[in-house]
Chain A
Amino acid sequence: MKKTVKKEALIALIENLMKDHEVVSPVETAGKGVFYRKIDKAKDVYLGPAFAVEPVKKFFLHPSEWICGCNKEEGTASPCPVPADDKKRVIFGVRPCEARGLVLLDKIFAPDDPAGYQDTSYIDNRSRSVIVGLACSVPDRTCFCVSLDGSPVETRGMDAVLFDMGDNFIVEILTEKGKSILGSLPGTIDAGSEKALEAAKEKTKKLVVKTVKAPDSLDASFKSDYWKKVSLSCLSCGVCTYLCPTCHCFDLVEEERKKLRCYDGCAFPDFTLETSGENPRPTKKERYRQRVFHKFDYFKKNFGENLCVGCGRCIRFCPVKIDISEVAAGAPIK
């Protein structure tokens, strides 16, 4: 169901939503760029073309969150679950690549296989959230979603989506959850706007110029010195993993009998360092190769898809300008 909605009407709806929902949206911060924030003023909502620095992932897997608590009653301090935050949440402005990242994370943290381990914290965060996406209109030069079976105007993982048509948004409601939030917006769509929307979508897709032809399997390149060459300049800073919408590796840390889950990443030397001093991934070659293989080989073997949505963050923010799309495409597989 689509309708044309005035931008002011959407802001008024958000103002109203905040009464009984947590509302999250991209927000412009002075000099630092755009970040997702929990907002308390609807006018702070930023639905412009600039991308958020951090992906929406952090509202489902927080950089550092209590995953187990500790029951201090009776002095026993026994471990206990952390009470789930069940406040309904609406997240606006989620880009197609990030929403698709959530669909991929679901495979790890909310597996379809009933025998798989279900991560209740992640699942609670997913089920209390309504994702209102924002289709891209001005892709970045580092974006490469189209060549990874994605699109800047796709809707996988969204409950509703907004298309910026200048003075208005075209709102498309995709799920019951989306309807519960945006169903009350007044408006219809006329044939002219439908046509304009389709034309705009096609135009945007063509603006994604970067392509990555990742091979079906990187297997044959595993032992190649290529991985040493491409990782030489890596600083092991880990920004690529923190800002990736699909990277999900974590550490569990015990503090005061409670358990903290924190982001961790394959870029760090101590990620796999064992107490004995053995490290199965001792150099940047093995560590960077792990990242590329996880994205373009291992995950594909396990789930049939790449663990990369082509958002371009790891390219934009890499301090030494390593480009994963070029690295994957250039792997010597013959």
Chain B
Amino acid sequence: MTGQMNTSNSNIYLPRETEITAIRQETSDIKTFVLKFKDAAYGDAFTYRPGQFVEFSVFGEGEATFCISNSPTRKTIECSAKKMGMVTQAMHELNVGDTVGLRGPYGNGFPVEDLKGKHLLFVSGGIGLAPLRSLINYCLDNRDDYLDITIVNGARTSKDLVYRDEYKVWEKAPGTKVHLTVDCREEDWVCMVGVVPKALEEIKPTCNGSVAIVCGPPIMIRFTIPVLEKMGFCPESIITTLEMKMKCGLGKCGRCNIGNHYICKDGPVFNYAKLKELHYEL
């Protein structure tokens, strides 16, 4: 498994000490943490695939699961967290220079090889852009391997859009289009208005030779997949990355399974055909 760094004699639950080298405020309640392993040799050897995730420890508070939101082609490991529960609230109190714990990477990640030679449609809502950002930047850094890239990104309001600095960079990349949408009309907002599935219907992206990669809140996924199917995307060409409560990340603690598959070990990336087979209810 790519990036798996546990040798047979090491404790698989043990986090590695990691320093926060920068913190970016994405929205009022979302921060991105830039991380660096204290053990430089370990950090240099640390590899991952877009879509893989880590267990992030705030010492004394607990662990929570985050995808690595940066591309492995870039130099830093980044995780974005919305202030929600015990661990993420503690995370939002952290400062640059603080030490946290990291273990991973876990999960399958996106099928970057299978996506080669395809048009890519990224559909995201809110913080759901985090795992897609990893893949978007990966594809842009390997631009020749992929055909047209269309990004449809939505948020409740313009203030809830994450990674805003990168939209311009993405737009300027060859063969790449970015569509932004917010749920309700706002003053000075010049992009689209309406929820993500509605925006998709307006944009009418091509389904021929395309793969749709979808991530967002469950309600967005629930309403987006039927729209994609209606446009002609077959279940095999709709990829999503799932989230469930996780503790171990190793397929042992038993809570994140869908059917006989563990999201942490066999996922988090699944295509819609597989999810249907596993009785996954959107």
Binding site for B on A (CB under 8 A): 67-68, 70, 77-82, 108-109, 114-115, 117-121, 222-223, 248-257, 259, 261, 264, 266, 271-276, 278, 280, 290, 293-294, 297-299, 301-302
Contacts and interface: CB of A to CB of B under 8 A. Distances in A.
A79 B15 contact: yes
B247 A251 contact: yes
A154 B245 CA distance: 39
A23 B261 CA distance: 39
Given A81-B11, A120-B12, A261-B13, A256 B253 contact: no
Interface string B7-43: 0111111110100000000000000000000000000
Kindly state the interface size class of chain B when it binds its partner.
35 or more
A299 B262 CA distance: 11
B175 interface: no
A297 B88 CA distance: 36
A222 B260 CA distance: 13
Interface in B89-138: 99, 101
Interface of B: 1, 4, 6, 8-15, 17, 57, 59-63, 84-85, 88, 99, 101, 217-218, 243-245, 247-248, 250-257, 259-260, 279
Contacts of A271: 245, 255
Contacts of A252: 13, 62-63, 247-248, 253
B260 A298 contact: yes
Contact of A68 (B13, B218, B256): B13
A228 to B, nearest CB: 15
Contacts of B17: 78-79
Across the A-B interface, the 10 shortest Cβ-Cβ residue pairs:
A249-B254, A275-B85, A298-B260, A301-B260, A254-B62, A81-B11, A117-B250, A275-B84, A257-B59, A252-B247
Given A251-B253, A252-B253, A254-B57, A81 B14 contact: yes
B29 to A, nearest CB: 13
Contacts of B4: 115
Given A68-B13, A81-B11, A254-B61, A276 B84 contact: yes
Given A115-B1, A298-B260, A280 B244 contact: yes
A77 to B, nearest CB: 7
Given A79-B17, A222-B279, A298-B257, A68 B11 contact: yes
13 contacts: A70-B59, A80-B14, A81-B10, A82-B11, A117-B251, A120-B12, A254-B62, A255-B60, A272-B244, A272-B245, A273-B245, A274-B243, A297-B260
Secondary structure type dominating chain A contacts: mixed
A299 B15 CA distance: 29
A301 B262 CA distance: 13
Nearest to B1: A115
Contacts of A114: 8
Given A120-B10, A272-B245, A302-B260, A254 B59 contact: yes
B14 A274 contact: no
Contacts of B254: 248-250, 264, 266, 294
A85 B163 CA distance: 48
Secondary structure type dominating chain B contacts: loop
A81 B13 CA distance: 9
B59 A77 contact: yes
A287 B85 CA distance: 23
Nearest to B242: A280
Given A256-B60, A264-B255, 15 more contacts: A67-B11, A68-B13, A81-B10, A81-B11, A115-B1, A118-B12, A120-B11, A250-B248, A251-B253, A252-B62, A252-B247, A252-B253, A253-B62, A259-B13, A276-B217
Nearest to B16: A79
A250 B247 contact: yes
Contacts of A79: 14-15, 17, 57, 59, 101
Contacts of A108: 252
Given A108-B252, A249-B255, A266-B254, A257 B245 contact: no
A275 B13 contact: no
Contacts of A68: 11, 13-15
A11 B151 CA distance: 74
A248 B252 contact: yes
Nearest to A251: B247
B13 A274 contact: no
A185 B15 CA distance: 47
Contacts of B279: 222-223
A95 to B, nearest CB: 24
Contacts of B260: 297-299, 301-302
Nearest to A275: B85
A98 B243 CA distance: 34
Contacts of A266: 254-255
Contacts of B248: 250, 252
A79 B58 CA distance: 11
A257 B8 contact: no
Contacts of B247: 250-252, 264
Contacts of A294: 254, 257
A109 B62 CA distance: 22
Contacts of A121: 11
B10 to A, nearest CB: 7
A162 B15 CA distance: 43
